[in-house]
Structure 1
Amino acid sequence: METGRQPSMSTRPWFASSLRVLVRESFETIILALLVFMVLHLSIQNYKVEGPSMEPTLNQNEYLIVNKLVYLRFDPAEVIDALPFYDGGADETDRYIFHPPVRGEVVVFRSPRDQSRDFVKRVIGLPGETVEIVNGTVYVNGLELVEPYLDGKDNTTMAPVQVDQGTVFVLGDNRGASNDSRSWGPVPTENLIGRAWMRFWPLDHLGVL
């Protein structure tokens, strides 16, 4: 007659199974977190306003959220080249997945003169247009541009500038204190980082731009 009890092994499979579930769920959580981080990194970025060039719209030390996807482009030629039996005949210029820059939008971009510096300005002139400034009044293709976002005008005068394809003409809202396309010409659209979408700091200035 057996008087002792044999050690139970039933807990070991349960423990191993639970450990596998824990490892799998932890791995899935890490992968999901990495995917969320990558999506956020690729789609938005924060930007700190430096200087008075966009006053009164934006002020020193305000923080913005920049939409980096809005001006995302693709090259149809690369897609077309991958298609079998294609022998040309289509417009193969770059296209925007969402939409190209629009006049009046506030954008963040890499400086044409120093790629390590980012600026925030407003889009004024679009590809193919002519921009001229007479005593502080902006004319686009000979028509006066209404600018309700300005807090007064300066007396700037600028000879007509042709905005080439693949570029945009930008100005700061505070014309008297802005280094912009009047100094270094239109900005290549490839320099655009994105559209300034929202101001999130300080909280009392929170809002969509």
Structure 2
Amino acid sequence: MKPSKLNQPAKRENKEPWLAVNLSLFFPGIGQIYAGKLFKGVILIVSQVTLILIAAWSIFSPTGNTVAGISFLAFMLVIYILNLFDAHNSIKKTKPQKINNVSVKQPPTYSSFSLHRSSAIKDPWLAVFLSQILPGIGHLYIEKIFLGGVFLIFIIIFSNLSVFFWPLRVVTAIIAAIACYHVYLASSKKSRKSRQLIRQVVVAIIIFKLTMAFLPILVEQQVEKFTIPSNSMLPTLQPGDKIFVHQSRNYIPQQGDLVVFNPPPKNRFSDVNKNEFFVKRVIGRPGETVQISNGVVYINNQPLKEDYTAQPAAYQWGPLAVPAGNYLVLGDNRNDSFDSHAWGFLPAANIIGKVYKIYWPPARIQPLN
């Protein structure tokens, strides 16, 4: 007679609800994939990437609608927040399974998406999540009051200093990573595998924090925003219009382009702040001869067709040849514009970039040039 074989329950990996939340904090869908909800995770990732692309196009594209872009961003934020709840619930709602009528031991369950467990044990991944939101809060949660206060003070100080000196954003990312790593280890004794996992999460935290810190800087290196302060560019630009300016080292201004620039050196005698920026239209390029006579602009003795001016110029100017490396710029409101006819040619080095879009207010959203 053969001895009967006892079937032992298969070892099952316990999933941590708050680890899923931490992963989804990086990007919607990652926590769901960790929880075993592959299809839902992929759908969240694809939908969020799609919304990001549509929102970016709507805001920054010349023909995009800024209001639509902001609406997509708001929708993204809603999905992002709901994704955190769903990541937690994807594991919380997992029911204990039985193998050969033997119950498999499951991790403790929670009554709600809450900061409190049913026991007094502190959840290390919840502490990490709180430290990601604001370093120091996780330590307060595990009752490390002194360290929590230290991390809070440091993150507040360096976050404020980084506004004026952006490289300090690296320091704020490191502070957050250290806080998350320490609060995890301080929460409870963990195995070597758990220590490896928190190290991987900390690396992801640093990458995530640095990306979020430097992405706006990278965008501003390509696109800068300005507000129109005066009537000098009427009717094209009105006071209060907010514009996008594309910056590029390879940009060569063309006739009719709207450009933002620093006041040239010859303008320093005026009462205009040297840190103030001007916006005008390029009329004459290097080597061209420009003349303004009887309200008409002539380029190389040919009349320039202009359908964007408020009224013809009431002054006479030129003829003068535009020097190499310089441009002649005029305001569309010819008789109420402090421009090249008053202070001379504009050096190319002073040009910040080309105006390509009015992005606000909503009624004024339109492409330019």
Q: TM-score interval w.r.t. the shorter chain?
A: 0.7 to 0.9
The 5 Å alignment of 1:6-45 reads: 11-45=190-224
C-alpha separation in 1, matches of 2:216 and 2:239: 28
C-alpha separation in 1, matches of 2:351 and 2:310: 26
Structure 2: gaps spanning 5 or more residues: 1-188, 269-273
Paired residue type of 1:139: Y
Q: Tell me the TM-score normalized by structure 2.
A: 0.45
Secondary structure of 2:308 counterpart: coil
Match of 2:353 among 178, 194, 198: 194
The 5 Å alignment of 1:35-114 reads: 35-69=214-248, 72=249, 97=250, 99-112=251-264, 113-114=267-268
C-alpha separation in 2, matches of 1:109 and 1:121: 8
- Which residue pairs with 2:296 in the alignment? 137
State the Cα distance separating 1:135 from its structure 2 match. Answer: 1.5
Which is greater in Rg? 2
State the Cα distance separating 1:17 from its structure 2 match. Answer: 2.0
- Which residue pairs with 1:152 in the alignment? 311
Paired residue type of 1:119: F
C-alpha separation in 2, matches of 1:140 and 1:154: 15
1:151–1:192 CA distance, 2 compared to 1 (3 A): same
C-alpha separation in 1, matches of 2:276 and 2:322: 22
Paired residue type of 1:117: E
Structure 1: gaps spanning 5 or more residues: 1-9, 73-96
**CA offset digits 1:148-205 (Å, max 9, x no partner):** 1123323221121221000000000000110000011110000000001111111111
Regions of 4+ moved over 3 Å: none
**CA offset digits 1:37-78 (Å, max 9, x no partner):** 231121111111011000000000111011011xx1xxxxxx
Match of 2:287 among 125, 128, 138: 128
Match of 1:182 among 341, 345, 361: 341
State the Cα distance separating 1:136 from its structure 2 match. Answer: 1.2
How many pairs align?
174
More helix by share: 2
State the Cα distance separating 1:11 from its structure 2 match. Answer: 4.5
Secondary structure of 1:54 counterpart: coil
State, as a whole percentage, how many aligned pairs show the same letter: 32
- Judge conservation of contact 2:311–2:334 (CA < 8 Å) in 1: no
Higher relative contact order (CA 8 A, sep 6+): 1
What value does the CA root-mean-square deviation take over the aligned residues? 1.7
